[in-house]
Amino acid sequence: MIKQKLTQLKTLFTKMERALIAYSGGVDSTLVAKIAYDVLGDQALAITAVSPSLLPEELEDAKIQAATIGIVHEWVETHEMNNPNYTSNPVNRCYFCKSELHNTLKPLALARGYPYVIDGVNADDLQDYRPGIQAAKERGVRSPLAEVGITKAEVRQLSQELGLPWWNKPAQPCLSSRFPYGEEITVSKLQRVGRAEVYLQKLGYNNLRVRSEGDTAKIELPPHQIKEFVLKANLSELVAQFQRFGFIYVTLDLEGYRSGKLNQVLSQGSVVN
């Protein structure tokens, strides 16, 4: 089944002839970039959107991965932080982010002769609350992984089989996803969350989130790592470092890390738009 889907994916790219990839450096868009390059060669172009919601370390990873693949890679600035519909952080914040992204990429693609803009949305994403998908569809963006029914697990499987060393890279959505809906997003808040997560990553914790609620940082780690973290981490130094980043309080989420946790308030109906 997975080989059949890969064949379908390659056929899809062959029919496109030229394509511009909205390339974040995550596992999904990197797989798309890899296969697009394998099929189209120099007729495939990967572009990364750079803004305060992207960690500099993530951009560096994207550059390294693109160079490893061989695909031409460029980056452009996007300005979603200038849009109050985005910074006010409503439940459909991602719609305005992806609108800005594709309002930037689509004209660029057309001006340079790329008839298609494609992204890394996979089949599982269609089952989640992803308002950004609608913004992409409205602008004619194609989602090859979703079109042939490739799931997140299959993305990792294919990446591993194709020899991509980052096949098990943790998901890293934009930093704005660290804030509860309704809390205003600012550049300084994004920076302190980003620095806090990089700090924890350097301590050896990779699959994590630092949620920001007002002046409080809430650390989410996989449940099986919580006990080890409490016993082994230098908590006083950690708190001091987080306070240097700009937080006042530091807490640990005892439930542990769970992707999309902030979306649980949507089903509870407790968010006011």
Predicted local confidence at residue 193, as pLDDT: 97
How distant, in Å, are the alpha carbons of 28, 84, 103 from that of 139? 20, 21, 8
Q: Is 70 exceeded by the pLDDT of residue 181?
A: yes
Tokens representing residue 43 in the block: 């007729």
Where does the chain show beta strands of DSSP type E?
Answer: 19-22, 44-50, 72-77, 117-118, 209-213, 216-220, 249-252
- Please return the burial class of 137, using the count of CB atoms within 10 Å of its CB with bins 0-12, 13-18 and 19+: middle
Predicted local confidence at residue 266, as pLDDT: 65
Instruction: Read off the pLDDT of residues 42-96 as tens digits, 9 standing for 90 and up.
Output: 999 999 999 999 999 999 999 999 999 999 999 999 999 999 999 999 999 999 9
Predicted local confidence at residue 71, as pLDDT: 98
Cβ neighbours of 264 (radius 10 Å): 10
**Sign, CA torsion 106/107/108/114:** positive
Predicted local confidence at residue 265, as pLDDT: 61
d(CA 24, CA 19) in angstroms, rounded, equals: 16
| Mean pLDDT within 212-227 | 96
d(CA 52, CA 154) in angstroms, rounded, equals: 30
HSE (CB half, 13 Å, CA atoms) of 127? 7
Residue with tokens 């890394």: 120
Instruction: Read off the pLDDT of residues 142-160 as tens digits, 9 standing for 90 and up.
Output: 999 999 999 999 999 999 9
Number of helices (H), then strands (E), belonging to the chain: the values are: 12, 7
Predicted local confidence at residue 258, as pLDDT: 81
> Pick the residue with more confidence: 173 or 40?
40
Instruction: Read off the pLDDT of residues 3-51 as tens digits, 9 standing for 90 and up.
Output: 999 999 999 999 999 999 999 999 999 999 999 999 999 999 999 999 9
Q: Is 70 exceeded by the pLDDT of residue 1?
A: yes
What topology is assigned to 2-161 in CATH?
A: Rossmann fold (3.40.50)
Residue among 100, 99, 140 nearest 116 (CA): 140
d(CA 270, CA 273) in angstroms, rounded, equals: 10
User: What whole-number percentage of the chain has pLDDT above 70?
Assistant: 95
Predicted local confidence at residue 272, as pLDDT: 41
Looking at the domain that runs over 175-268, which CATH code has it been given? 3.30.70
| Strand-strand pairing, 72-77 and 216-220 | unpaired
Instruction: Read off the pLDDT of residues 233-256 as tens digits, 9 standing for 90 and up.
Output: 999 999 999 999 999 999 999 999
Confidence band of 264 (pLDDT split at 50, 70, 90): low
Confidence band of 172 (pLDDT split at 50, 70, 90): confident
Is residue 262 within 8 Å of residue 180, measured between CB atoms? yes
| Mean pLDDT within 214-241 | 96
d(CA 80, CA 97) in angstroms, rounded, equals: 6
> What is the pTM assigned to this prediction?
0.91
Can you say how many angstroms the Cα of residue 107 is from the centroid of all Cα atoms in its chain? 22
Average pLDDT, the chain: 94
d(CA 182, CA 240) in angstroms, rounded, equals: 28
Predicted local confidence at residue 21, as pLDDT: 98
Residue with tokens 């700090």: 199
| Mean pLDDT within 101-107 | 98
Predicted local confidence at residue 267, as pLDDT: 60
Sketch the domain layout of the chain as residue ranges.
2-161, 175-268
